[in-house]
Structure 1
Amino acid sequence: MRYYFTKIVNGGFEVIENKIVALLKNEGFGVLTYIDMQRTLKEKLNVEFKKYKILGACNPPFALKALEAEDKIGTILPCNIIIQEHELNTIEVSAINPLVSMQAVNNDRLKKVAQEVSSKLENVINNLEDEK
């Protein structure tokens, strides 16, 4: 089992980013953080890098369940989704698979939450379509 779900789609970077945010919303997630790695690497290291963003997504009811089951789980929250441009209009979107990332935590209550969140994030990736 891979630690992420992934899909390559065709379209503009910003259009695909907006689609991902909308699909996350449909699954009950909001985006808490946006990290623009291209801009950060340019500003901090003067390095040219491809378009690459990390979205920190959170589903509050599941986050609460996870925190109640395991108080240190915040070290791996929120759920990260990355959007990267391999070529112009060729965009790969990947999301963490919480079932894999939380395996190290031996907690049955947490496993149930991880299964539900994994299913929702996999739906987001599977429902992503090319720009029309």
Structure 2
Amino acid sequence: MAYSRHKYVDADFDTTAQHVRQILDSEGFATPCEVNVTDSFRNLLGKEFRNYLILMVGQPSMAHEAMSSDPHIGTLLPGNLVIYEQVGGSVIAAMDPALLKQLAEPVPEQLGQAMETLLEKLFERITS
């Protein structure tokens, strides 16, 4: 089973990252944390790596509702959205929401649907 969904974008890494942040913000999703993997590998390991960013994405009201009913679901939240440099462009990838539904039963339907809708809108709106 595929564990992620992804989309290739014919735009450079910085442009893609900026556009993704704008779309997330306009759709009401927060990114409480970002991990710059490139800088982390350089600083911690002394190794170079392609431009790679992990955005931890969530919708606070739904996360609160989900974690109020099942505190363990926090192990799956927030969801990671990655953006990385690929030859000639960038790739955006996230966990397949169907996998979340399989991992955490019952997942509040609102949360699973929100993730599904976000990916659809993000992939539709991002420049390809």
**How far apart in 2 are the matches of 1:2 and 1:126?**
20
Q: What SS class does the counterpart of residue 33 from structure 1 fall into? A: strand
Structure 1: which 5+ runs fail to align? none
> 1:92 matched to which residue of 2?
91
- 1:38 maps to 38
Q: Which one-letter code corresponds to 2:30 in the other structure?
A: G
Residue in 2 that maps onto 1:77: 77
CA distance in 1, matches of 2:126, 2:45: 33
| 1:11 CA drift (Å) | 1.7
Q: For 1:28, what is the secondary structure of its paired residue?
A: coil
Q: Is the 8 A contact 1:99 1:115 kept in 2?
A: no
SS at match of 1:53: strand
1: CA distance, partners of 2:94 / 2:104? 20
Q: 1:86 and 1:20 mapped to 2: Cα distance?
A: 16
Distance 1:39 1:5 in 2: 25
Q: Is the 8 A contact 1:53 1:82 kept in 2?
A: yes
Q: Are the counterparts in 1 of residues 56 and 78 from structure 2 also a CA contact under 8 Å?
A: yes
Gaps of 5+ in 2: none
TM-score normalised to structure 2 length: 0.88
Q: RMSD over aligned Cα, in angstroms?
A: 1.8
TM-superposed deviation, 1:112: 4.2
Query: Which of 115, 118, 127 is matched with 1:117 structurally?
Result: 115
Q: 3-state DSSP class of the match of 1:72?
A: helix
The alpha carbon displacement at 1:48 in A equals: 1.2
Distance 2:28 2:109 in 1: 19
Identity %: 25
C-alpha deviations, 1:44-92, integer Å up to 9, x for none? 11111100000001111221222123111111111111000012x4100
Change (3 A) 1:122 1:95: farther
Residues 9-33 of structure 1: CA deviation (Å, up to 9, x unaligned): 1222111101001111122101111
CA contact (8 A) 1:57 1:80 kept: yes
Aligned match of 1:60: 60
2:104 maps to amino acid: V
Contact 2:57 2:81 in 1 (8 A): yes
CA contact (8 A) 1:99 1:111 kept: no
